[in-house]
Amino acid sequence: MRRVLILPIGIVAVAIAYYQLSGHEPSGSVLLLIWGGAMGVMVWILLPTIDNVGPTAPVDPDFEPKQD
């Protein structure tokens, strides 16, 4: 799990470095921080579902599509 956190932590580190090296320019830093946060949420929410394969809802064995 720690290995997948490298991406969001790296993006946040780049945002901090960009803020320091750009003369405290906030707009690019905020965009990078938002992106890093979004990647962190993606890892937190979607990564546990990576092993789930198959349908996401129960399959009705009696279902027959409409015939026109």
pLDDT of 64 strictly over 70: yes
More confident residue, 48 or 52: 48
In a domain, 58, yes or no: no
Assigned domain for 25 exists: yes
Does the pTM surpass 0.75? The reply is: no
Contact present, 36 and 12 (Cβ < 8 Å): yes
The total number of structural domains in the chain stands at 1
The predicted structure's pLDDT at residue 5: 87
User: 31: domain range?
Assistant: 11-43
**Rounded to 10 degrees, what is the CA torsion of 45, 46, 51, 54?**
110
Query: DSSP characters for 5-68?
Result: GHHHHHHHHHHHHHHHHTTS-HHHHHHHHHHHHHHHHHHHHHGGGTT--S-SS---TT------
Residue 15 has pLDDT above 90, yes or no: yes
Q: Judge whether 7 and 39 are in contact, CB under 8 Å.
A: yes
Residue 28 lies in a domain: yes
